[in-house]
Amino acid sequence: MSRATALLALLIVAGLAACLGPYPDIGERLDVGSKVVGTSYVSVDGGWTRILILAPLDGGPAPYTRIDDTQPRAVETLQGTWAGAGEDAVTFSSTIVFNLPDEHTLPVSSRKGATRRELVPPQVAQATAAISGDVLDLTGAPAVAAHYRTLLGRTAQITGTDATASACAFHVAQLAVESSEARIPGFNSAGLTQYLNRVEPFDGILSGQVTVGLVGLFSPVVTTTFIGYADFEGVVLDGVQVSSTNGSGDGTLSGVLSFQIAREGLPPIDGQVDYREITLSGGNESGNYLITLDGGTQIRVPTGPWSPPLAQCLGF
């Protein structure tokens, strides 16, 4: 699960969580994300991946989501609307930002974890759009600008069941896992204590649901369950991740997560990631993810920087 369900944030006392600040108030709705059903585009540049989901325009502004995933451990998601502003010009109006910072060097007790912030007034970004085939070029505002390709066209670059294909498929599936984490308030910090003895659901941006629950405050067990979960075209998640730790965030990760990766012009890839060889130290993961594609041989993919790079996996 990346950033290790450090979830486990744990070991902090429930009272401490109440004083941490960047989490929703008691009784406030936790899932405030918007549904966006449309075309998913992807851009990859080194360790930076940007996914842009655009609902079709139909005479007025339409929903959009932009997800930035910066390896090794940071995710920022913008949501709002977009609209045409001329023959080639488009305007993005963002109303909420979700942020999961890279805090792997901090003890879990000092982490801020996933937060969200409403943008009032909306954050407006102007861009010029050029579309050719499966290519979308947006120039202008840095918040959305990139050289994009349709995500389903890029996942078609992943073929076979060997070690390289297994690692690539896992990295693509992991984009969806990490995207989900940024919209769970308190994820990867002591703020997870707000889920003590409860199960909280969060809808996928595209479809499905993920739930998170915590039992045991001083020896916390965090269970994250994905049910037909999709934040963007091309990746659907089903299964369970379970982290079991002590008060310092040391412990194990277990469970099996199934994923299906759609590919333009090709049958989907069906895969699984088994977490039983992952250990947690200070809330951070080490060890191997056990990956199986289409019923083939199980492959070990080590934690750490993605190899091969995602740009190579997707043919950028």
What are 139-163's pLDDT values in tens digits?
Answer: 999 999 999 999 999 999 999 999 9
Global pTM reads: 0.90
Distance CA 126, CA 142 (A): 9
Residue 86 pLDDT class (50, 70, 90 cuts): low
Report whether 179 contacts 67 (CB < 8 A).
Answer: yes
Residue 139: predicted pLDDT: 96
Share of the chain above pLDDT 90, in %: 73
pLDDT at 15: 33
CB 114, CB 182: distance < 8 Å:
yes
Tell me how far apart the alpha carbons of residues 151 and 304 are, in angstroms, rounded to a whole number: 24
Mean pLDDT check: name the lowest of 20-24, 52-56, 197-201, 215-219.
20-24
Question: What burial letters (b/e) apply to 264-291, b meaning 16+ CB within 10 Å?
Answer: eeeeebebbbbbebbebebbbbebebbb
| pLDDT for 24 | 52
Residue ranges per domain, the chain?
24-151, 155-313
